[in-house]
Structure 1
Amino acid sequence: MGCAGSRDVRPPTGQQDGRISKASFQPLVMTVDNGRVVGKIIDENVGDSDKLEKTTTSKSSKAEEKKVRITRQKYLVTKSRNKVLSWHAIVEMKRKSKRVVKRIRKRSRRPRKHEEPPSGPRVDPASIVVLLGDSPEKETVLQDGDSPLLGIPKKQLVPDLGVFKDLDEYALKTPESEEGSIEKTVDYLLRRAGTDLEKARAVWRWMTARIEYDVPAFLSGSYPDMTAEAVFTRRSAVCTGYSTLYKKMCSLAGLRCEEIWGKSKGVAYRVGRKFQQEYDHTWNAVEIDGRWYLLDCTWGAGVVDLQRNTFTFNYQEDRFLTDPDMMILDHLPLEDKWQLLDETKTLDQFESEVHLTPAFYACGLHPSDLSVQDGVLETQNGEIVLKVNLPKTVELSWEMTEEDDTTPIKTSVLYEIIGSTGHFRVIPAKTGSFKFWLSCKTEKGDWEMVCEYLVNCSAVKEDFAGFPDNDGHLWGPGLELQRGGVVKVSHTEAILQTEDGEVTVELEPRDVLDFSCELCKDGEEDMVKGCMLHEVVKGTARFRLAPPQSGFYVLKIYASGSTQQDFHPFIEYIIDCKESLEDDDVFPDNDGGVWGPGVALREKRVTSVSHTEAVVDTKDGECTVTVELPKCSNAAGQLFSVDDAENDIKGAVLTDIVDGKTTFRVVPPARASGKFTLSLFTVSDGCDWDPICDYVINCEEGKDDVELFPDKDGCAWGPGLALEERTILQTTQPRALVCTIDGEVTIGIKTPEDTDFAAQLFKAGDADNELKGSILFETVDDQECFKVIPPEQGYYALNIFTVSENLDWQLLCDYVIYCDEPRESSVDEDGQPYGPGKAIQDGILKDASHKGAVLKTEQGEVQISLEFSEATNFTTELFNLYDKDTEITGHVFNQIIDGKAQIQIFPPEAGTYVLKLWTTTADWESEEVCSYLVQCDQPRENFRPFPKTHGYLWGPGLHLANGKLSDASHIPGVVVAKAGEARITIETESPFNSCVIQNVEEECLPPQHHFLETVGKTIRIGARLPAEGYYALSIWEEDTDDKIYYLLRCDEAPGDCSSFPLVHMWPRDYELHEPRDGNLPTKQTIRFRVTCPSAEGLWVMLPSGDRKDFTKDSKGSWEADVYTGVPGGLTLWSKTDENLPEQVLLVYQVV
């Protein structure tokens, strides 16, 4: 294989006997996969034609196993993939015992890759031995007589270490009863180990767990017996004991194993120094399936701590079957062949080069990535820079000590990444030699050393006091830039210089991150307060720093992603402050948290803001900040001084919501200057305060005189939130702060629900004492109007409430009222709402002819029109403003015309009156609708009061509106009786069969003054009035309270008012055509004509006792000419059914 090996690798001498015959070289290039022959030529008869057979092993059938073949094979043998070493020709094969030995003539030169081998016979005295497997399961392998055949890489031999799990547990749990001797232990281990690999593994795992390193012997240099038996018995050893015992146990297991003597870079190794001994360490090589692998039981068992002089079992998997290019990093065998490398390393190279560990390659580094590959670094002018080309996944740290000391040196190295290169700037604090090594963070989070240097410093750098300490980790943003965690950064270098005492760092992360920061003085752990401001502007994190003193500072930036709960270190900078601002409170302190609305905007907790940057400057001693929340909600703003971050300044912030945007008006205290903190919050219904963001308010000069706003813990004033939530539909004052004009201000509010209202007024700073007599509440134009007349100059709080039926008060909104010039109040403390506005708002009324609260009469009367949402009965009450206990009756006329309520008011005398309007149900339950103030300058002359209706309306309007009547001859409720007589007709299916007429004194007229008859759906009522004046005609259904009232006005009555006949019974559909007068003259013939559809007979009984029968004509009318005769009663009779008695219908008087 072209690899160096131990001296004892040839087969026994007995296997090399035999005659060496010559054979011509017939070349063929074969392919080999990592040392496995995959093509071979088999010729059973020497000299016959070649036959090509492709195979991955030398397995043969049982039949082939029984006979001995004489085989001529030509091989292309490679040490590793795709590298040609030599061609070989078989010259002899002879079977000895169970192993076939072949001598092969070897060419003296190496062809180029894929070069076709030369043709023709070749004879070379050098030869190699080909060992064919002794069973079909064994592979056919090639082995140079003087070189061990390299095993395949460990990751290919064992892709998954999990295959060793059961075997390892078996070996580790070897009972003491099976450990009486080496032979017994090996026998026990082989019970679970069948293959060469399993045997080597079982022995290795047992040894690395049972044999302890003999630290006292190593330190004293006095070693006990290191034979295999002694080590096995004592269970402790140094490296020779480990290697001897492992070789012994492998031998018993049937494995070929060699001890390798050489030099190592172990715990006592001093980088850059020459090895003084010929060898200082031993390890092993074991043959597995014909290939050789390296391992170190000593280093695999654990670690030695020379400071504590202890050994700790700490299993190291990478020391088992270690790949040669990894083993050579710290193991140099005395015999080059055991390097198992194509190009062997010399002792000078091993001593002078930088000390690399397997972890160096494991983390993806290569020696060419180091700017200096020598193990010794010489400073120039007191410093040296080591550069390392870094893959994105590599995370390095450094450590440094004096060569002969273990005390860490933490301030002599600056590590930063620029581009993809790590820069280690080493500046020792004194002359001398120093150990300097780099470590890499593993996937498990552990740190393993990857390389080690010796730094020689001959001169100290002047005026250098050392870098800040960060435990050997990275400074600057280089790693995040390299990995793409940061897209853009203002400062790529690790050290920042202040200008005019300040410096600003900006960085734009790739992903959404939250940041926190700390600024610490070099050498101090406590964070410097009031000297940094962190904000996020348009996705860029900005850190403004103003160190209080000159010197080095450390800026520590922490980050937290969407999947992380805690902040982790992100980037660290060194701040070099040459000249400070000499101000300890440049910014308010918030423990490194973020200022400004940037995060809230990013998280969409805020839609837009007036100020995207964290610092807001005041103008004329005040400023305004506006934010728009995704969903309008209650918000609060609090102002804090730098000196007191616990207690907010009461009355310094006025919060207002207008058009969905929340405005915070900030007015710092009088003559106050400096920095303030403005903290903004959203406030839930449960009074939970969730932060929005914090601003820094920079007030260079405060106002001379400041009046504090009313205090509300910073929460929002005004109707804005109620408007957004639609508890208020509209208002005349959308802003929270309202200033008076001429000493008063009116606020109109329209709400969607039927509710009562209440309002309270308080002076700013005195929320315990309500001011009485300063609010007039009325409803105008669909709005509840609150007229506020503050008693004196200053700020006031106006609280407006809704009042439920249970008299529960709930805050609707509140205003801040500012009065600059007060005036005397003329508002009655017991003021109440007037006008129809609230009823319209509540949906009781649709419209009103007079939406104002005050009605003024003209010529002694005023008429209003109201439209109810649905047909309803209503009543009114009229009172004198100063006598609300005595109702004035007969001066209000209520009716419904065309679905609208018409109310006519005739005040009895000049003055102010209150008119109250009520709705009434069928059960006579009433509910107040609205009130009016009626102002009368002059009453109407000769006004006659109306009769009472006792809660009923005049006219048929309500019945027409609710469908009980389909038509009426007189829709207005006033009917004028001409010559004392009036006729009224209504169309209905309801049986309105009762009627009465009353005068204004509520005296009923005799029944002969009205006549009611119903024909089909038509009801006709005749009325004959005895004198001038007002009369109330009411008709109703019998046994019900459903009445229709008409006002009969008789301006002129006849001197001899004739009445109607007295009705005893007048069935439906009966019609009296003639005579309709109830008084008949004596001794005259009177024509009677009556329609009685159900009658079988009709007649009259005369005062004389005679009977006069009627005849029925072709039209169904009953007729008769009746001679009246003598005075007396004349009765009209009918017979409707033979089973029913005769009935009197009408009674006339013959006079």
Structure 2
Amino acid sequence: MGCGGSKSTAVVESNVDVRRHNGIKRSNDVINERATVDESRGYTEQNSGNVTEGQSVKVNEEIAHPLKHKNVINGHTTGIDDGVVINQQRDEPDSIERKSKQNVRQSAPYKIPTDPKTVSPFDPSVNVAKYREEPIPVFGRAAFPLSKDTPDLKIEDTFWPGKRALIPDYNQMKKLDKHAIETPPGLRKDMDQLVAHLTTVANSELEKLRVIFRWVAHNTEYNVEGFRTGMYGDNSAEAVLRTGLAVCGGYSNLMVAMCAKAGVECVKITGYAKGSGYWPGKENLSKMTHAWNRVTLNGSTFLCDCTWAAGSVDTAFTRHWKEGQFLAEPKSFANHHFPKGVDIQKIFSTQSLEDWNNTPVLGALAQFSGLECVSHKEGIIKAPSNSCLIKLKLERALYNTFCIVKNEDGTKLKGVALQWWNKNELSCSIRLPKAGRYSFVLIGKISWQRNDNGNTEVLYPEQPSDAIRNTIVSYVIKATGGEKLDPMSTEEINLYGAPLNLPDYGLTPADKNEATVQAVAGSAHVVFKKLHEGPSSVRVDVCKVGDQNKKMESSVYCEHFDDWVVCHVRCPSAGKYTLTMYVKSDHEDYSCRLTYIIVCTGKFDPIRLPDMSRVSGPNAKFAGLGLRLRDTLTSTIVTVEGEGQLVITCDTTKEMKIIAGLKDISESPNNDGDYVVETNKTETEQVTTVSLRLKTKGFFKLTLFAKPKTESVPTPKKRVCRSMASMLSQT
């Protein structure tokens, strides 16, 4: 079939009396008693993806072999065409019921659903009627007021209004930056010659300031050793120009001197800053002194920090251009800088130094995303029980958000944070192991696209993520409880529930998005609404928390139900489990990952599910070939007295070939299952019916392949495309 074909898999659970089928032979049934799974040696499947079309053709031919001699049954002729059993349509006796049944929890007998169009036949507790009646919660980019109409951002879109008015096109800034960076090193021996060379490309005060600012940031290295020892050395403008080494005061002094020669008004401001080694509520601020610049352009005042624009300090100085420190956004700048000896009310807020020291530290993404601290306005969070819930609202969507929690010695803690999105609100649940002081940092990205730059400096930013750092907000958490709390998870990730980019993959949560799901009597489920054509593939895993390497395939089943995808989980015992989903779309390069914590309590009789790690039901290729399911809303086929069917239709112009395979995936497989594929044509459509007869109780997987008859059959060892349709059927 190749990648142009389609595959559909169904799991059938049988709950029949074997004796009812022994010796049964209805005159108008075309059933091959030899067509058991054991006899279908040509059909093999591992991990839902290793079946070749050649093998599928072989199994159909083996199953159909007893019918190759044309038979006349009640006046109707049966036969084989291209490995597919073809029967003319015939009436079934009234005694054969074709109604769907439910799989009730535990070992209760099945019951026919009262409304099979709304109730999942696999789990009657899943009723999609409420989702059809009530609006689905808005999720993803559409939930953020500033993200609805601006999915593709330019760097200048990250600027605050005052800066954006001065710089409507960032390309001009990149030209000035290139000129500054490529300035010959020998010119630094003479400040007059250096400034004259730099400003040859500048046509305004703004452009003069920019080219000088970028040169100083790029050609001056922070004196880390001097900062640590307190031996700052000579930080005069002349000394910094000569040595290329300075602390914050030296950067500011050089900016003042060079701007004066260019005719740009620039003054030095000193005060305190929330830089390296700071945390909210820090008792001694003597080590947090800092210096920066105030500039005037066309009569308006702006703030710049050349030291922070040049890079950052951890164990050493790392050069990294920070666009946000040039003509900085006033409120964000005031959150980090507190001046001494200037008119605070005119430039900064009216808060006192004590109030300033008690506020959360806002990162570069805070202003851009429109951050609102909902639950905690102060920078110190008190946690008397060693746990807390932090809630934040954003006006613009951020992706790949991650909580970093460290103890007092700087060690990162794993598994202490869960975060999840609801509309434009991010909740972060924190459980700390013991009493103490902890730092909390939330980071994110403007785009969910991967960025391979790492710590490499981007000299000429091309994307907004190159120009703006990823910190959103920082807190200090003071835990004072005596109880030791266990980690909530053992994984590195801490974003749970659905990520914001899930709608890009064709799914959206049908309920309020949460990080945890409470199991009832060992059973839990998560429901998603399909968008557009839905995802191309979904894979699901369940693991016990603390044992992530052991997959529990018999504890999860993902079902297609009309326009919904339902992930069913059956916990084997009380405890915590992680449900992980990998969603793939033909339009995206990477898979989207969703993770939920399943909390299971109490005593119950465990239920073993079939081994179906991949989602069931028709996929995008199924529809792409023009195939349709008739009278079927769910990928769960419930058989009645061991018998059931699946009907696939398409236009007569398609001339589709349907190939099937049946596999017993019960806990103790008996391989007692038969099927026949029949194809009929009318004037308007081709109708293919897959009839099932299951003789023992258990689960079976029905796999369908489809391809136009005009295509040649591939070689037996050619792998079938993994993006196939899967279906689950039960008896």
What's the TM-score bracket when you normalise by the shorter of the two chains? 0.5 to 0.7
How many Å separate the matches in 1 of 2:266 and 2:673?
89
2:542 is equivalent to residue 520 of structure 1: yes
How many Å separate the matches in 1 of 2:561 and 2:581?
17
- In the TM superposition, 1:653-664 aligns within 5 A as 653-659=675-681, 660-664=686-690
Which one of 312, 315, 326 corresponds to residue 318 of structure 2?
312
1:866 aligns to what? Answer: none
How many Å separate the matches in 1 of 2:418 and 2:482?
16
Note the C-alpha offset of 1:395. Answer: 4.1
2:599 is equivalent to residue 564 of structure 1: no
1:534 aligns to what? Answer: 558
Which one of 173, 179, 192 corresponds to residue 182 of structure 2?
173
* CA deviation profile, 1:909-941 (whole Å, cap 9, x unmatched): xxxxxxxxxxxxxxxxxxxxxxxxxxxxxxxxx
* CA deviation profile, 1:502-523 (whole Å, cap 9, x unmatched): 2122121443321513223224
For the 8 Å contact 1:271–1:435, the answer to whether it is kept is no
1:414 aligns to what? Answer: 418
2:78 aligns to what? Answer: none
How many Å separate the matches in 1 of 2:241 and 2:726?
72
Counterpart residue identity of residue 428, structure 1: L
2:99 aligns to what? Answer: none
Q: SS where residue 624 of structure 1 aligns?
A: strand
Tell me the percent identity. Answer: 24
For the 8 Å contact 1:391–1:420, the answer to whether it is kept is yes
1:682 aligns to what? Answer: 706
Higher normalized strand content (fraction of residues):
1
How many Å separate the matches in 1 of 2:329 and 2:527?
47
Which one of 139, 163, 168 corresponds to residue 172 of structure 2?
163
For the 8 Å contact 2:556–2:570, the answer to whether it is kept is yes
**CA 1:356–1:499 in structure 2 vs 1: closer, same or farther (change >3 Å)?**
same
Q: SS where residue 338 of structure 2 aligns?
A: strand
2:633 aligns to what? Answer: 612
Which one of 691, 715, 721 corresponds to residue 665 of structure 1?
691
Q: SS where residue 200 of structure 2 aligns?
A: coil
Counterpart residue identity of residue 656, structure 1: E
Counterpart residue identity of residue 345, structure 1: Q
Counterpart residue identity of residue 343, structure 2: K
How many Å separate the matches in 2 of 1:547 and 1:481?
26
Which one of 373, 377, 381 corresponds to residue 373 of structure 1?
377
**CA 1:409–1:477 in structure 2 vs 1: closer, same or farther (change >3 Å)?**
same
Note the C-alpha offset of 1:611. Answer: 4.3
2:222 aligns to what? Answer: 213
1:226 aligns to what? Answer: 235
Counterpart residue identity of residue 678, structure 1: L
How many Å separate the matches in 1 of 2:187 and 2:292?
26
**CA 1:606–1:445 in structure 2 vs 1: closer, same or farther (change >3 Å)?**
farther
Counterpart residue identity of residue 376, structure 1: I
How many Å separate the matches in 2 of 1:242 and 1:445?
26
For the 8 Å contact 1:654–1:665, the answer to whether it is kept is yes
2:475 is equivalent to residue 453 of structure 1: yes
Note the C-alpha offset of 1:634. Answer: 2.5
2:340 is equivalent to residue 334 of structure 1: yes
Note the C-alpha offset of 1:270. Answer: 1.8
For the 8 Å contact 2:212–2:259, the answer to whether it is kept is yes
2:464 is equivalent to residue 441 of structure 1: no
How many Å separate the matches in 1 of 2:179 and 2:638?
75
Note the C-alpha offset of 1:388. Answer: 1.6
Note the C-alpha offset of 1:674. Answer: 2.1
How many Å separate the matches in 2 of 1:501 and 1:371?
34
Note the C-alpha offset of 1:327. Answer: 1.5
How many Å separate the matches in 2 of 1:482 and 1:692?
20
How many Å separate the matches in 1 of 2:400 and 2:570?
31
How many Å separate the matches in 1 of 2:538 and 2:348?
54
1:432 aligns to what? Answer: 436
**CA 1:612–1:290 in structure 2 vs 1: closer, same or farther (change >3 Å)?**
closer
How many Å separate the matches in 1 of 2:436 and 2:629?
61
1:272 aligns to what? Answer: 281
Counterpart residue identity of residue 412, structure 2: P
For the 8 Å contact 1:555–1:574, the answer to whether it is kept is yes
How many Å separate the matches in 2 of 1:565 and 1:371?
37
* CA deviation profile, 1:520-546 (whole Å, cap 9, x unmatched): 322414543232211222111111112
How many Å separate the matches in 2 of 1:550 and 1:152?
54
Note the C-alpha offset of 1:330. Answer: 0.5
**CA 1:249–1:648 in structure 2 vs 1: closer, same or farther (change >3 Å)?**
farther
How many Å separate the matches in 1 of 2:172 and 2:608?
64
Counterpart residue identity of residue 252, structure 1: K
- In the TM superposition, 1:534-683 aligns within 5 A as 534-561=558-585, 563-564=587-588, 566-569=590-593, 571-578=594-601, 586-589=609-612, 592-597=613-618, 605-609=626-630, 611-630=632-651, 631-642=654-665, 652-659=674-681, 660-668=686-694, 672-683=696-707
Structure with higher Rg: it is 1
For the 8 Å contact 2:675–2:690, the answer to whether it is kept is yes
For the 8 Å contact 1:189–1:202, the answer to whether it is kept is yes
For the 8 Å contact 1:505–1:544, the answer to whether it is kept is yes
For the 8 Å contact 1:329–1:357, the answer to whether it is kept is no
Note the C-alpha offset of 1:212. Answer: 0.7
For the 8 Å contact 1:239–1:281, the answer to whether it is kept is yes
Counterpart residue identity of residue 177, structure 2: D
For the 8 Å contact 1:655–1:662, the answer to whether it is kept is yes
- In the TM superposition, 1:23-42 aligns within 5 A as none
Note the C-alpha offset of 1:431. Answer: 1.0
For the 8 Å contact 1:260–1:283, the answer to whether it is kept is yes
Counterpart residue identity of residue 426, structure 1: I
For the 8 Å contact 1:397–1:439, the answer to whether it is kept is yes
For the 8 Å contact 2:647–2:690, the answer to whether it is kept is yes
Counterpart residue identity of residue 301, structure 1: A
1:87 aligns to what? Answer: none
Higher normalized helix content (fraction of residues):
2
Note the C-alpha offset of 1:421. Answer: 2.7
- In the TM superposition, 1:716-865 aligns within 5 A as none
* CA deviation profile, 1:739-769 (whole Å, cap 9, x unmatched): xxxxxxxxxxxxxxxxxxxxxxxxxxxxxxx
Note the C-alpha offset of 1:239. Answer: 0.8
How many Å separate the matches in 2 of 1:490 and 1:542?
12
Which one of 485, 494, 497 corresponds to residue 515 of structure 2?
494
Gaps of 5+ in 1: 1-150, 700-1151
Counterpart residue identity of residue 332, structure 2: M
Counterpart residue identity of residue 587, structure 1: P
**CA 1:693–1:321 in structure 2 vs 1: closer, same or farther (change >3 Å)?**
closer
How many Å separate the matches in 2 of 1:298 and 1:434?
28
How many Å separate the matches in 2 of 1:261 and 1:553?
53
Note the C-alpha offset of 1:387. Answer: 1.7
**CA 1:160–1:480 in structure 2 vs 1: closer, same or farther (change >3 Å)?**
closer
How many Å separate the matches in 1 of 2:390 and 2:294?
36
How many Å separate the matches in 1 of 2:268 and 2:396?
40
How many Å separate the matches in 1 of 2:229 and 2:271?
21
How many Å separate the matches in 2 of 1:513 and 1:236?
57
For the 8 Å contact 1:518–1:555, the answer to whether it is kept is yes
1:325 aligns to what? Answer: 331
Note the C-alpha offset of 1:561. Answer: 4.1
Note the C-alpha offset of 1:401. Answer: 3.0
Note the C-alpha offset of 1:391. Answer: 2.7
How many Å separate the matches in 2 of 1:583 and 1:649?
24
1:251 aligns to what? Answer: 260
For the 8 Å contact 1:419–1:478, the answer to whether it is kept is no
1:359 aligns to what? Answer: 365
**TM-score w.r.t. length of structure 1:** 0.43
Q: SS where residue 426 of structure 1 aligns?
A: strand
Note the C-alpha offset of 1:295. Answer: 1.0
Note the C-alpha offset of 1:456. Answer: 0.8
